[in-house]
Amino acid sequence: MRPITRRQFLQDSAVALASLALGDRLAAVLAGQEAPIPIGAVYPLTGALARIGAVIRNAIELAVDIVNTPYPDLNLPLARTAGLPRLGGRRIRVVWGDSRGDPATGRAEAERLIEQERVVALIGSYQSAVTATASLAAEARGIPFLNAESSSPRLTERGFKWFFRTGPHDITFTQIMFDMVEDLKRKGHRILRVAVLAEDTEFGATAAGVAKGFAQARGYQLVAMELYTSPPSSLTAELLRIRAANPDFVIGANYLVDAIVITRTLKEMRWFPQGFLTHAGFTTVPDYLNAVGKDGYYFLARAPWALGIGRRKPLVLRVNELYKRRYGSDMDEVAARAFTGMLTLADAINRAGSTQPAAIQRALRETRIPADQLIMPWRGIEFDSKGQNRHATGVMVQILEGEYKVVWPFEVAEAQLVWPAPPWDRR
């Protein structure tokens, strides 16, 4: 070991003491950098939704890392540079708030982050109910709030000035079904008659109402609309009636158990419409195919995102690879949406060139992120006057050969959409 001289010792101690005394800021200046910009994130980190909260946290931290360190080969906003170039390379840092899945706690956490942590913007909060209250705190204090995952249409109908949503909402999910059918009509399919089969609580009844509205607005004939109570002991009466109405396609809003009854009853009746499009959450659950096997093929479901779009969009696979290397599992749709939300917010702060909330708000309004810089199946990100991303959409997946394959929009499809679905005796 080299002996330490008296002079050296004094020098080193002085630097160390100065760093300790003046804290992060001086240390950062000494390191040639200012303190990172604090961004607040309010999510359910504990409680019943903690698992989803952890996924979101992973996705957001990956996005922050992509902003803060250079990834020269990634075509994402702020990936190639270190930190925010228009703010002299300053880094960003996330300050976490735990909503515990509760609207009141979410709001209190948002207030704490704004007032005590001095965050320049907020991102959150997964559940629509928590997003509604947490964004209220931001609106009252004039802090931008970016939401990436909540799906209640009401959130962007409140006329808030500081609220922005990158992801799609529930009405979008019905819209994409009709958009897909429009595309099919353009390809020469004759599709006019639609039937709706939905469970009769908030989820199903709302979706049924929205489907009815789209059918009327776009000139389809709504030939049957049947609501039932879940779990149903039988859906024979409902499906006999729908079959008698002879729809070209059926829109379903059903729970998993209902979907199994529907599948089996359709098979029993030896009838299948040209297409059966569902809002069902069962798309992500293997239980469905375990229960019905091959009989579940050709059903279509909407999804906000699917890893399968990576086949046509290599960027998705590259980001998924980074994610998987860090966390050991594939990205899911919630992760993809949260990741995109964080990058959008960082992009706005960079373009604002300032940490002033009003400048960030203005930059968010002027956001123009093109499709090729997104891991989402969207045509881009641009906010309308209500703060909703006008390009937010989803994908349609179809069960083909035992897997969920992205089949629409056609430009990101990984497999050919099978339409009309083959009759039972030719499967």
Partner 1 sequence: MDLLLPAATSGLVLGLVYALVALGLSFIWGVMDVVNLAHAEYLMLAMYATYWLWALGRIEPALATPIVVPVFFAFGWVTYRLLIRRILQAPLAAQIFATFGLLFVLRYAAFFAFGPNVYGIWSAQAAGSTSVLGVPIAAPKVHAALVSLAAFGALSLFLRHTKTGKALRACAQNREVALTLGIPVDRMYALSWGIGIASVALAGVFLLPFYQVSPTIGDAFLLVAFASVVLGGFGRVDGALVGGVCIGLLENVLGTLLSPTFKFLFVFVAFVAILLVRPQGLLGEGGR
Torsion of CA 210, 216, 219, 221, to 10 degrees: 90
Instruction: Single out the residue of 16, 20, 140, 244 in contact with partner 1 (rule: CB under 8 A).
Output: 244
Instruction: Single out the residue of 56, 176, 261, 280 in contact with partner 1 (rule: CB under 8 A).
Output: 261
Instruction: Single out the residue of 34, 102, 183, 200 in contact with partner 1 (rule: CB under 8 A).
Output: 200
**How many residues bind partner 1, per CB under 8 A?**
32
Candidates 28-36, 120-128, 260-268, 399-407; binding stretch for partner 1 (CB under 8 A)? 260-268
Is 237 near partner 1 (CB under 8 A)?
yes
Candidates 161-169, 263-271, 334-342, 364-372; binding stretch for partner 1 (CB under 8 A)? 263-271
Is 266 near partner 1 (CB under 8 A)?
no
Candidates 160-168, 220-228, 336-344, 365-373; binding stretch for partner 1 (CB under 8 A)? 220-228
Closer to partner 1 by Cβ: residue 73 or 401? 401
Mask for 284-313, x = binds partner 1 (CB under 8 A)? -x-xx-xxxx-x------------------
Is 269 near partner 1 (CB under 8 A)?
yes
Is 216 near partner 1 (CB under 8 A)?
no
Is 256 near partner 1 (CB under 8 A)?
yes
Is 414 near partner 1 (CB under 8 A)?
no
Is 50 near partner 1 (CB under 8 A)?
no
Is 264 near partner 1 (CB under 8 A)?
yes
Instruction: Single out the residue of 70, 142, 209, 231 in contact with partner 1 (rule: CB under 8 A).
Output: 231
Closer to partner 1 by Cβ: residue 291 or 415? 291
Candidates 170-178, 240-248, 350-358, 383-391; binding stretch for partner 1 (CB under 8 A)? 240-248
Closer to partner 1 by Cβ: residue 241 or 386? 241
- 3-state per-residue secondary structure call for the chain: CCCCCHHHHHHHHHHHHHHHHHHHHHHHHHCCCCCCEEEEEEECCCCCCHHHHHHHHHHHHHHHHHHHCCCCCCCCCCCCCCCEHHHCCECEEEEEEECCCCHHHHHHHHHHHHHCCCCCCEEECCCHHHHHHHHHHHHHHCCCEEECCCCCHHHHHCCCCCEEECCCCHHHHHHHHHHHHHHHHHCCCCCCEEEEEEECCHHHHHHHHHHHHHHHHCCCEEEEEEEECCCCCCCHHHHHHHHHHCCCEEEEECCHHHHHHHHHHHHHHCCCCCEEEECCHHHHCCHHHHHHHHHHCCCEEEECCCHHHHHCCHHHHHHHHHHHHHHCCCCCHHHHHHHHHHHHHHHHHHHHCCCCHHHHHHHHHCCCEEHHHCCCCCCEECECCCCEECCCCCEEEEEECCEEEEEECHHHCCCCCCCCCCCHHHC
Instruction: Single out the residue of 98, 170, 238, 414 in contact with partner 1 (rule: CB under 8 A).
Output: 238
CB of 227 to partner 1, least distance (A): 5
Binding site for partner 1 (CB under 8 A): 200, 226-229, 231-234, 236-238, 240-241, 244, 256-257, 260-261, 264, 267-270, 285, 287-288, 290-293, 295
